[in-house]
Amino acid sequence: MNWREFGGPDLPIRIVAVRAGGGVVATVEAAMLGAGHHVAAPDQVRVQNGPQVVRVVEQEPGALGITQVKLTVGRGVRELGTPAALEQVLLLVSLGDPTPPMLAVINGCRTVASAAGMR
């Protein structure tokens, strides 16, 4: 694909994302492509973490990064929005019943999530 197809410059679109198994990429793929489908683009750039995605996008003409929006704040990149917000669900698990310190972490997360209006 080329940015020209979307009214942009004549540059190939180059996907930049974290390596396989990244939660943000999995969330975007599931929401935009459907369960079990993956981004299939030639010449992708895969990096170790989200901040590296932003750095590559800042330097690579034609790059389209998949990362957390909070990592782009104050950087030299433009956000492309989605029709609806994408939410990454994280779970806390333990082997067996949680210990008191584990429960303290779980309850702390619930308190923060509740204050932020999350589940």
Is residue 79 in a domain? no
Is residue 54 in a domain? yes
Phi, psi of 28 (to 5 degrees): -65, -45
Is residue 83 in a domain? no
Check whether residue 12 and residue 58 sit in a common domain.
yes
Is residue 38 in a domain? yes
Is residue 80 in a domain? no
Q: Name the residue range of residue 47's domain.
A: 3-72
Q: Please answer whether residues 38 and 48 qualify as being in contact, where contact means their C-beta atoms are separated by less than 8 angstroms.
A: no
Condensed to tens digits (0 to 9), the pLDDT of residues 61-89 reads: 999 998 888 898 888 888 887 888 888 77
Is residue 81 in a domain? no
CA distance 89 to 30: 12
Q: Which of 3-7, 65-69, 113-117 has the lowest mean pLDDT?
A: 113-117
* Domain tally, the chain: 2
Check whether residue 66 and residue 95 sit in a common domain.
no
Is residue 82 in a domain? no
Condensed to tens digits (0 to 9), the pLDDT of residues 22-47 reads: 788 888 888 888 888 888 888 899 99
Check whether residue 30 and residue 67 sit in a common domain.
yes
Report pLDDT for 119: 59
Full-model pTM: 0.72
Is residue 77 in a domain? no
Residue 87's contacts (CB-CB under 8 Å, 6 or more residues apart) are 27
